[in-house]
Structure 1
Amino acid sequence: MNKPCVNLIKLSVGTENVDDLLAWQSSKRAQTDKGQPRHVTRMFPKRADEILNGGSIYWVIKGVIQARQRILRLDEVTGGDGIRRCAIVLDPDLIRTQTSLRRPFQGWRYLTPSDAPPDLPKGRVAEEPLPVELNRALAEIGVL
């Protein structure tokens, strides 16, 4: 029997585009001691086994899912304030996805594989976007 897989979805706050996200992840502050990109969050996912079974983090930039990264592991880290946190360690390979509108939310959410947008073909950095009004209307009725 196959183990289930689940993804995370997270806002990339302060990021204007995918290149900004890559630039942030290349900074020492956003890396493990071995140079792997990571995102530190306050909460530790309860569905860690499902995440580590092939899950990715889908990045929402400016209200739109634009890319994903495979999650390699979840490390427990303690901040300078003594609070336990979760470092989501990521594959450095950032994969661009078809765009999908998302409303703002705090923290991260689980995203099932069936609800995740498909990857763009390798080498393609963007897709021709639908007009904003059409994209929003489709999202509101649950088509996107």
Structure 2
Amino acid sequence: MANKITHLIKLSVGSESFDSLAAWQKQKRAQTDDGLPRHVTRMWPRRETEVLDGGSIYWVIKGAVQCRQRILRLDEVTGQDGIRRCAIVLDPELVRVAPALKRPFQGWRYLDPADAPPDLAQGRASDDDLPPDLSAKLAEIGVL
């Protein structure tokens, strides 16, 4: 029986926009030794097999899901405090998705593929970013 794919959803704390998340991930301190972007978290996904079977992490920026990245692997890392953590290693390609409002939450959550916002069409993906407040308002009324 094939595994059911599941995604993760996470607030991109400190990101002001899609572009600021992309810029952060290009910094050496946000990358693995092989140059891939990563996000280090305290908790290891219990549904690891489902996440690694084609799952993505969906990034919430300024109150709206704005993009996703395919999850490539999970690496164990140990912090300076000696505590084991999980590095979620990501595909460098950020894929814009249809904005969807999301209330703040802590950590990451599982996201069922049926509840994930769809990718934007190729032509829309290169559109200029709307200001985050405007994007959130349009998503709120169902325009985006």
Q: TM-score, normalised by structure 2?
A: 0.88
Shift of 1:123: 4.4
Q: Does 1:41 align with 2:45?
A: no
Please give the secondary structure, in 1, of the residue aligned with 2:10.
strand
Corresponding residue number in structure 2 for 1:58: 58
1: distance between equivalents of 2:20 and 2:97?
16
Runs of 4+ displaced beyond 4 Å: 126-131
Change in Cα spacing, 1:4 to 1:22, as seen in structure 2 (3 Å) is same
Report if the CA contact (8 A) 2:68-2:94 is conserved: yes
Q: How does 1:113-124 map to 2 (within 5 A)?
A: 113-124=113-124
The one-letter amino acid paired with 1:136 is E
Q: Distance in 2 between matches of 1:131 and 1:72?
A: 29
| Residue in structure 1 matched with residue 67 of structure 2 by the alignment | 67
TM-score, normalising length from structure 1?
0.88
RMSD: 2.1
Aligned twin of 2:13? 13
**CA displacement at 1:131 relative to structure 2:** 7.5
The alpha carbon displacement at 1:137 in A equals 6.1
Number of paired residues? 138
Between the aligned residues of both structures, percent identity stands at 65
Where 2:109 maps in the other structure, the secondary structure is strand
Are 2:99 and 2:139, in contact at CA under 8 Å, matched by a contact in 1? no
Contact 2:63 2:136 in 1 (8 A): no
Q: The residue matched to 1:124 in structure 2 has which SS?
A: helix
Secondary structure in 2 aligned to 1:109? strand
Question: CA 1:27–1:123 in structure 2 vs 1: closer, same or farther (change >3 Å)?
Answer: farther
* SS state at 2:122 partner: coil
Which deviations, in whole Å up to 9, do the C-alpha atoms of 1:92-139 show, x marking residues without a partner?
01100000000000000000000000001124235887782x74366x
Separation in structure 2 between the aligned mates of residue 131 and residue 95 of structure 1, nearest angstrom: 18
Query: 1:2: Cα distance to partner?
Result: 2.8
Which consecutive residues of structure 2, in runs of 5 or more, have no partner in the other structure?
none
For residues 120 and 46 of structure 2, the distance between their equivalents in structure 1, rounded to whole angstroms, comes to 30
